[in-house]
Amino acid sequence: MIKNKSDTENKVLNCAYRVFLLYGYHATTLQQIATEVQLNQAMIHYYFRSKERLYGLVVKHLMDIVVANNAVEIEILGRNKINWFLNTELYNNKEMFENQIEKLYPNDWKEIVIQLKNVI
């Protein structure tokens, strides 16, 4: 998912990506991710500091794919899974999701959120 990271960081990021896309922010726990990658939860805090920061990295990766309209990546991930995640986060976790989008795209984040709502 991200280059120039340690194997452990990449394992955590890949797992977090799958888990957040499946369950959304609120239903995902760091313990779920730690158990799946066979790490102590403290190691996830060591690498990423918080669930919110890890979530932000997942959202960034997903938005890179969606904004670039990368058809190959979208098909690999599954259009339905991406749409479900975006729909869930835009409506059930609106404030945090929009904050992450604003951090990624400070100049035009509102337009991007509107576009995302139109896509799903």
Q: In sequence order, what DSSP letters do the residues of 44-101 get, joined into one string?
A: HHHHHSSHHHHHHHHHHHHHHHHHTT-HHHHHHH-HHHHHHHHHHHHHHSHHHHHHHH
Q: Is residue 12 part of a domain?
A: yes
Q: Is residue 1 part of a domain?
A: no
Which 8-state DSSP code applies to residue 34? Answer: H
Model confidence at 4, pLDDT cuts 50, 70, 90, reads: low
Domain total in the chain: 1
Q: Is residue 80 part of a domain?
A: yes
User: In the predicted model, what is the mean pLDDT of residues 20-40?
Assistant: 95
Q: Is residue 44 part of a domain?
A: yes
Residue 82 sits in a domain whose CATH number is: 1.10.10.60
Higher pLDDT, 17 or 118: 17
What residue numbers bound the domain in which 103 lies?
7-119
pLDDT tops 60 at residue 2:
no
Q: Is residue 23 part of a domain?
A: yes
pLDDT tens digit string along 80-104?
888 899 999 999 999 999 999 999 9
What is the pLDDT, as a whole number, of residue 8? Answer: 92
User: In the predicted model, what is the mean pLDDT of residues 108-115?
Assistant: 90
Residues 6+ apart with CB under 8 A from 100: 55, 56, 59, 60
CA dist 105 and 111 (Å) reads 10
What does the mean pLDDT of the chain come to?
90
The sign of the torsion formed by the CA atoms of 96, 100, 103, 109 equals negative
Q: Is residue 2 part of a domain?
A: no
What is the pLDDT, as a whole number, of residue 1? Answer: 52
